[in-house]
Amino acid sequence: MEHMKRIGRTLIHKGAILDFYEDEMLMPTGKVAKWDFLAHKGAAAVLAVKKDGKILMVRQYRPAQERETLEIPAGARDYAEEPTMECAARELEEETGYRAGKIEFLMTLRTGIAYCNEIIDIYLATELETTHQHLDEEEFLEIKEYDLEELCRMIYEGKIQDAKTVSAVLAYKNKYQK
């Protein structure tokens, strides 16, 4: 199979979370096409499981969806080289007010492979201790607790559609709850 080759990249907009580029792509036919590309510094997410088996979730309004969503705690890296485990631990405490006694890698997810380079490393957090939330000024969220089976049911009913959350819940169920 012949491959395409990027021959140019122009920054269109530098944002707080994403940088938007227009790429010039040389097609195998020799034709040049313009493609959109979103650059992201990466993120981390955490599936936090309490001693009683309840999973911590956050409910928050997402403007892109124009509705509230139910998600696992997550956030962007503070800088591109920040270890994702540190980012996950920080986001867990900031968003939920819990600190993990044990945190382990669960999976990596690429969110939009056709147009974006975002990678989210997802961790499993256990042995949780209560601390306090440190929400960003623009964050407004509610912490909820759910049983694994209830979350799975909400996924299959279409009530939870967030890719990182769906992936994390189902991976956890497959790996740890056989």
Catalytically annotated residues: 137
Hunting for tokens 């485990």 — which residue is that? Answer: 85
Contacts of residue 45, Cβ cutoff 8 Å, sequence gap at least 6: 72, 73, 74, 75, 88, 91, 120, 121, 122, 123, 164, 165, 168
Backbone φ and ψ for 171, nearest 5 degrees, come out as: -65, -45
Q: Which residue has the tokens 């169920």?
A: 173
75 beta partners: 44
Contact assessment for residue 39 and residue 6, using Cβ atoms and an 8 Å cutoff: no
* Residues in a beta bridge with 58: 71, 143
